[in-house]
Amino acid sequence: MKKIAEIFALCCIALNAQAQTITNEKELQQRQAQIKQQLQDESQGKHKFGQSCSQKGGAYVNSVCWATRNVSLPGTFADRPESAGMFYQWNSAVGWTSTDPLLNSNSATKWNTIMPDNSEWKGVNNPCPQGWRVPTQGELKSLLDDTKVQNEWTTQNTVNGRKFTDKASRASIFFPAAGSRNWKDGSLKDVGDFGCYWSSEQHNGLFSYYLYFFNKETHVSNFSRSAAQSVRCVAE
């Protein structure tokens, strides 16, 4: 009787292991099917808003569809990847020139000293073209994942900046070191030496998250939301 009980117990263990294997295989098959469908959708142009990332003028880096150019005038991209575009205060759809003299997209020359509010970048203030939005803090951080992204300081067509390359696909995006405008008076600073790119998320009532870099380092930190910085959109 004891021997039969032992055999029964061993059979149960074997059956449980087999069931677990089947479950794992099913999960693997489901995941493979999802990846296959994503690749098919991309090749057939089935991205949100009816276009693939490449058709939208973007590039996939670490599974995020990034625009290849900065925002220029509200609702438009700069003409080249190396172009600085315009600077934006956080949660604002009003652009500021990235070169002097100081001028905004509404033709005003007086710097805005009112602290932007809200806990996230409102859709109504989205400066990106249709189908694009300001990236989250997590999406900016995905560019710093050195297991999947190569991050290097470089000069592209005489413009300093950072190049982020997907290690698997070799797709890349270039962020120019456009500098920024000072939060207090709008003065231009660090052109060619630093790049500063907003996220859509606040840190607290005064600061919001952003990506910044120079020739030696790249980080995601937080800064005064009254400063005007670059915006690099991601696909919705």
Q: Would you write out the chain's pLDDT as a tens digit for each of its 236 residues?
A: 444 445 445 444 444 544 454 356 766 665 564 454 445 445 544 445 568 999 999 999 999 999 999 999 999 999 999 999 999 999 999 999 999 999 999 999 999 999 988 999 999 999 999 999 999 999 999 999 999 999 999 999 999 999 999 999 999 999 999 999 999 999 999 999 999 999 999 999 999 999 999 999 999 999 999 999 999 999 99
Q: Which of 90, 117, 112 is nearest to 102 (CA)?
A: 112
CA-CA distances (angstroms) from residue 73 to 4, 76, 232?
80, 5, 13
Backbone angles phi, psi at 125, to 5 degrees: -100, 10
Please report the pLDDT score of residue 39 as a whole number: 52
DSSP 3-state assignment of 174? strand
Which residues, including other chains, have CB under 8 Å from residue 171's CB and lie 6 or more apart? 59, 60, 61, 165
pTM for this predicted structure: 0.80
CA-CA distances (angstroms) from residue 146 to 20, 97, 137, 151, 212?
33, 33, 17, 7, 16
Please report the pLDDT score of residue 7 as a whole number: 43
What are the sequence ranges of the domains in the chain? 1-44, 51-235
Tokens of 89: 């205060």
Q: Which of 217, 86, 61, 37 is nearest to 143 (CA)?
A: 61
Please report the pLDDT score of residue 25 as a whole number: 75
**Number of H-type helices and E-type strands within the chain:** 2, 15
First to last CA, the chain: 65
Please report the pLDDT score of residue 167 as a whole number: 98
